[in-house]
Amino acid sequence: MLKTAFHASVAATALFVAGSALADVTVYTAGPEKLIADLAAGFTAETGTKVEFFQATTGNVMARIEAEAANPVVDVLISASWDTATDFAARGWLEPYTSPNAEMVPDFLKTDTAVAQGVAALAIAWNPNSGTPRPTEWADLAKPEFKDLVNLPDPAKSGSAFELVAALSAGGDMAMFDSLSANGAIVAGANADALNPVLQGAKAAVFGAVDYIALNGQAKGESIEVIFPESGTVIAPRPVMIMEWSQNQDEAKAFVDYMLSDAGQAIVAAQNLMPARTDVAADRALIADLKILPIDAAGVYGKRAETLEAFSKAFAQ
């Protein structure tokens, strides 16, 4: 869903429009609006520091940062793709910082310039009222029972969907996606665009749904089940970064500390994301419960154009 949101309150929105100079820390995020709203409220209640935020899709957040290059505003960036942290570190845009609250964050979820806020995984999102058999593996969605009833997020619009395609087509083997296409599966836009028809009953399943989005729908009473294939899936850590140009470094670091605190990680878990800290519980499957498919990020993104071209050819049949 293409959406840009500021604080729900009119007063907070007015402050942002008037200029971020009134804010003690400004956060741009590609995460759920309620997540950043709750983190901002909790941080302000604990520290007295005001937070202004801009919430949008990853593409819109990146476009805003690029547009503000001559007069940057953002202090803290939360992306939906770890590739952002790698790219921005290479550009020299990030301030090194290791929060004392990051001790229980696994090494693969942190660097000297980024740390995961939380982690999503990709799954099959299946509507139990669809009249189709419960799938357990990716390949099940290419079976005749799912003819014309499967959506996929577009890997050109979703970084997590791209990584799943890359992981499942290692070596350039697009056989699974050829089978899906031949069975009438549709590439249906971004993540929410792929999921909504399944929630509405027009489709039976999403191949590669972002788990927390589907789990949030389930929590609201939607007819949806999240299934992690035993053959493996990919995860999507959500990196948090402090921008090198920030004039509010102390406040930015304090916000990262809060996000990784017990209270902050509980807020992350409440949105059905996996907490970054391994010692924080969540009412959902965690990394240790999943088989994670290995990805060589440099190699995968180095061949992004080729992978997307091969994927497009599979669905052009």
Radius of gyration, alpha carbons of the chain: 20
* 192 three-class SS: helix
Q: Long-range contact list for 40-46, CB < 8 A, 24+ apart? A: 40/7, 42/258, 42/263, 42/264, 42/267, 43/254, 43/255, 43/258, 43/259, 43/264, 46/258, 46/263
What is this structure's pTM? 0.85
pLDDT computed for residue 172 by the predictor: 82
The CATH code belonging to domain 120-234+291-314 is 3.40.190.10
pLDDT computed for residue 153 by the predictor: 94
What value, to the nearest 5°, has the Cα angle with vertex 221 and ends 217 and 223? Answer: 75
The CATH code belonging to domain 10-119+236-284 is 3.40.190.10
Q: How far apart are CA 135 and CA 142, in angstroms?
A: 10
Mean pLDDT score, 268-274: 97
Residue 205 bridge partners (DSSP): 126, 150
pLDDT computed for residue 157 by the predictor: 86
Q: Within 26-135, where are the H helices? A: 33-47, 58-67, 82-91
Q: Within 169-233, where are the H helices? A: 175-182, 191-199, 211-219
Q: Provide the residue type at 304 as one letter.
A: R
pLDDT computed for residue 16 by the predictor: 40
pLDDT computed for residue 18 by the predictor: 36
pLDDT computed for residue 124 by the predictor: 98
**Domain ranges in the chain with CATH number 3.40.190.10:** 10-119+236-284, 120-234+291-314
With a pLDDT cut of 90, the percent of the chain lying above it is 80
